[in-house]
Amino acid sequence: MIAKAYAKVNLYLSVLSKRDDGFHDIISLMHNISLYDLLEVEESDETTFSSNINLPWDSSNTLFKTMDIFERITGIRSKLKIRLEKHIPSPSGLGGGSADAAALLWYLCESEKISDIMEMARLIGSDVPFFVEGGCAVVEGVGEKIHKLDPLNLKMDLYIPQVGFSTKKMYELVDEMNLCGKIGDPYELYAGIKTVDRKKISSNLYNTFQVLAEQTHPEITSQAKAYLKDKEFILMTGSGSAFFGFDLHETKGDVHFTARPRLILD
């Protein structure tokens, strides 16, 4: 099997509050985009892993974590030859690791006829349930509440700086700087894009982490806005550091929205 694991952008993201378990409740409008990693998997006598970039095969690797959680939950020990061709930079806020994990988890569950994929997806990472579903959705809680929406039709350009932001550190800074709270509304933003209401888009296009980045990494946010200056709307995705820019009904762009979480090539 060869699967395309598509990246995502957050058109809207508010960090609402810190939970008693240390995690954070969020609300976000997520959408898959056409940038993807290639994941090749085949049955083998022993599990091996290789990649076009230097990645460890341990618990810091979401594919390793996926196989470990799948085995612990199901009791099934799979032996696979895994080859990952990375195109989604990390860390960037584009969800590459979660997309890869979702693609592998989907393969494991399909192969073994396992139905409770979402339970395992939540254990792997907060964005993984979205990537299992794919397309466009408002995501709430710690990523477990997913309200599917019809996909949007936009093209965009990405700006990906050389410096990546640590998600853990960004959440810590959100708490330290008291930035939790809902500003704008993802459903209003979605409606604004669908109806080409620029005022509604402008008042609801929001990312808590961009507010933080503008204070902690002003040089990166300035560079991103300069690079994407020809775009009408610009926003950072996830906890950063990638930015995207789009125009309504734009016909040009490096990437576009896609409704497919993965495409099986073989």
Q: Please name which of 13, 31, 30, 25 lies closest in space to residue 184, comparing C-alpha atoms.
A: 13
Beta strands in 47-171 (DSSP E): 48-51, 80-85, 136-141, 145-149, 155-159
The SS3 call for residue 266 is coil
Angle between helices 208-216 and 167-176 (to 10 degrees): 90
Residues whose CB falls within 8 Å of the CB of residue 163, separated by 6 or more in sequence, listed in order: 217, 220, 241
Which of these, 209, 206, 167, lies nearest to 188 by C-alpha position?
A: 206
Report yes or no: 84 and 38 within 8 Å, Cβ to Cβ: yes
Tell me if residue 254 is catalytic.
Answer: no
Backbone φ/ψ region at 140: left (φ over 0), alpha (ψ -120 to 50), beta: beta
Q: Is the sign of the CA dihedral 36, 41, 46, 50 positive or negative?
A: negative
Burial class of 131 by CB neighbour count within 10 A (0 to 12, 13 to 18, 19+): buried
4, 8, 65, 231: the active-site residue: 8
Active-site residue flag, 127: yes
Options 100, 127, 157, 185, the catalytic residue: 127
For 86-218, list the strands marked E by DSSP.
136-141, 145-149, 155-159, 206-207
Are the beta carbons of 125 and 87 closer than 8 angstroms? no
Catalytic residues: 8, 127
